[in-house]
Chains A and B, each alone.
Chain A
Amino acid sequence: MKIDAYFKDNLDKVVVFCCGYGINLLIFLAFKVDRAVILSSSFISVVSFLLILFIPFFRKKVFYDSLLSNIERLDKAYLVLETINKPEFYEGKLLYQAMYEINKSMNENVKTIEEAFKDFKEYIEMWIHEVKIPLSTLVLISNNHKEQFDKRTKLQLKRLEDYLDQVLYYARCENAEKDYLIKETNLAKVIKNIGLKNMDDLLEKKIDYIVGDVSLEVLTDSKWLEFILGQIINNSIKYKRDGKNSYIKIEAKEEKDKIILSIEDNGIGIKEGDLKYVFDKSFTGSNGRIVGKSTGMGLYIAKNMCNKLGHKIDIMSKEDKYTKVVITFAKNNYYDVLK
């Protein structure tokens, strides 16, 4: 609370006092009151007026200052009522009560929306599990009757599964609930699973899957990590460069306090100008336009999931040369102690 602004706000009182006291002075003069009486009366009146004007300022200042500064300091400003003392003055009490009511109704509103969102997410999850049953049937049928279904069917079924998983993980990671389980996971196993999952695509497109020594333990949710790496590998497959010797190279190295996993391809790369937007929602960039079939969601979801799991994800690329995605896992010393 600023004193000059407060003074301006109370200018009407000053004007009323000045006018009233001016008339009072004229009356004193008309009745030829003694000068000493006028002076002492004026002194008492002015001092009293100033006290009346500024005492409320200091009372209010304590309340408003702490309110404003706490709002600024909190990252969830709506929790501010919990952090301040209930004011003693009447207007403050009214304000406090109003804010309390607003907060309450807002919370109820947010809760309704959260519940609706949770229901929606649960429905999506359930729906995906339902859809996966006929999908599994199709996979089995196409495998058991190879004479009727060729490899193209298999690849299309895999695409269908990939899209379903994308929705599933989008629903999971947009949710405030904790929907993952972090435990010690061997990178080699996750990388093998993704390799097997994408084997047909990789062989069909003649992309070599080169895996270095990745037998390292990291703390993560293996299913989530599988999905994240799946998005990256999918991109490498989708944005491969025509010609020979395409590859995806996966390497991992251990440092003092972290483990770094890198996935590098020699695909069409990403334009420098596009690079900083690739993790943005729905961003497809010029590559998306070249290849088509791009939703711009894969890397956005991957980044979101990394944030939740506490991994760092970075991307570097040179157009027509390479794209390299690096995921950094922090090592947890506390966990080692427990072991």
Chain B
Amino acid sequence: MAKIMVIEDDEIIEEELKNLLENSFYEVVVLKDYKKALEEILQIRPDLILLDINIPFINGKTLLQELRRKSNIPVIMVTSINSETDEALSISYGADDYITKPYNPNILLLRIGAVLKRTHYKENRTILTYKDLEFDMAKGIIKLGSKEIILTKNEMLIFSYLLNHQNKIVTRDELMTILWDNALYINENALTVNISRLRNKLKEIGYDKAIDTRKGIGYILL
């Protein structure tokens, strides 16, 4: 479980952000003392930092610069200032990503996932397993012994997302976001079709009813 540190001045955002991240199975720590921010970060050693630019005592960008002299902990800058100059500056100071407020929570989670994947290669598995199935993400193939099923790119993204959130309800909204984030701009009908195709393919390989529909909410991979 990756540990994410939230450095955020606004208490309610901090609270809700914590909720959001914990619901997505991250461990969350919040910065307590802004005056000793750097020491606290280095002591806690989080896997990723969500850093707001407007924080008390020290500017987020300055903190980032100081942090980079000592550590390469991935940092996502979060700010309500939507400007290219600011973004370019943050990136040049060593930020791994830059997100503007108000952010779409699903997209924030995707960006966090992407940065963690990029920086922690050991967790960057391309072969996932589901029960006795082997799922090769790079090739888009599900294997059961010598039997192979080829997934389309849409099906592959849907399946890997369901698999990463196994036994948890995944909303259609989340699936749509991950598809659109991969430049696959499909509509509601196409998503339904893709899910039922994926179901049929899993059925072929002996996993009938692996994906359950929770009416009005989403899907769950059992």
Contacts and interface: CB of A to CB of B under 8 A. Distances in A.
Contacts of B13: 133, 136-137, 140
A206 B102 contact: no
Nearest to B88: A181
B82 A136 contact: no
Contacts of B82: 165, 168, 223
B181 A192 contact: yes
Interface in A137-176: 137-141, 143-144, 157, 161, 165, 168
Contacts of A129: 54, 80-81
B43 interface: no
Contact of A181 (B16, B84, B185): B84
Interface string A197-221: 1011001001011110000000001
Interface stretch (B25-33, B103-111, B141-149): B103-111
A25 interface: no
B130 interface: no
Nearest to B185: A209
Interface in B66-102: 80-85, 87-88, 101-102
Nearest to A160: B102
Interface in B157-183: 173, 176-177, 180-181, 183
A137 B183 contact: no
Contact of A222 (B20, B84, B102, B105): B84
Given A140-B105, A157-B102, A209-B185, A196 B177 contact: yes
Contact of B102 (A136, A144, A199, A203): A136
B12 interface: yes
Interface of B: 10, 12-13, 16-17, 19-20, 23, 54, 80-85, 87-88, 101-107, 173, 176-177, 180-181, 183, 185, 187-188
Interface of A: 128-130, 132-133, 135-141, 143-144, 157, 161, 165, 168, 179-181, 183, 188, 192, 195-197, 199-200, 203, 206, 208-211, 221-224
